[in-house]
Chains A and B, each alone.
Chain A
Amino acid sequence: DAKTTQPPSMDCAEGRAANLPCNHSTISGNEYVYWYRQIHSQGPQYIIHGLKNNETNEMASLIITEDRKSSTLILPHATLRDTAVYYCIVRSMNYGGSQGNLIFGKGTKLSVKP
């Protein structure tokens, strides 16, 4: 089972920031938070990941609370092309065997509206 809880859907106005929440209250010290997204009918695409510090790249920012029990993915200026299902995934840092495998939940369907 997925170790994360996300709202099933969200709307965002084009050009505004999209803030997607994720709860992962059972996360352990050796687990990272990853975000992927899936645009309709395509394969998932990696966005960003982090352990405990906030992270930023060209696509998004990831804010992780100090207790690491929740996080927020921020798309600073959402466009229509950002309409997709966004998956928050908790993943072990121990690779080898199955520990590092991604476990997808149902994600949040983000609809960016003009």
Chain B
Amino acid sequence: NAGVTQTPKFRVLKTGQSMTLLCAQDMNHEYMYWYRQDPGMGLRLIHYSVGEGTTAKGEVPDGYNVSRLKKQNFLLGLESAAPSQTSVYFCASSYNGDQYNEQFFGPGTRLTVL
């Protein structure tokens, strides 16, 4: 199993450009999450999904949109990138949300917005 994979690994955008980050998991997990991590900080939840076709806002959702059209994929979109969105983005998944099911994280995407 590949676990959680993220595409791309690195990206540089200019202010105002758009892009989509792809997260894929092959563990048949119901829950998926998108986090961002800024230097010296812990991870902050952007959006999450508790199943195919459902999404919900996390702690810092502004400027991002998400879609979960297929159970194995969770897409994070930036419609008009801003320098404040320069960050490392991590995707995670879990079997469900209960206390016995850990979150598995991907390797991250480093995004720079100029």
Contacts and interface: CB of A to CB of B under 8 A. Distances in A.
A41 B35 CA distance: 14
Interface string B71-87: 00000000000000000
Given A98-B56, A102-B103, A44 B96 contact: no
A54 interface: no
Contacts, number: 60
A49 interface: yes
A96 B98 CA distance: 8
B22 interface: no
Contact of B99 (A43, A100, A101, A106): A100
A42 B107 contact: yes
Nearest to A32: B99
Nearest to A104: B42
Given A43-B105, A45-B105, A98 B58 contact: yes
Interface string A76-93: 000000000001000101
Nearest to A101: B45
Given A44-B43, A45-B105, A102-B45, A93 B99 contact: yes
Interface of A: 2, 32, 41-46, 49, 51, 87, 91, 93, 95-98, 100-107
Interface of B: 4, 33, 35, 40-45, 48, 50, 56, 58-59, 90, 92, 96-99, 102-108
15 contacts: A41-B108, A43-B4, A43-B106, A43-B108, A44-B43, A44-B103, A44-B105, A46-B102, A95-B98, A96-B50, A97-B56, A102-B43, A105-B42, A106-B40, A106-B42
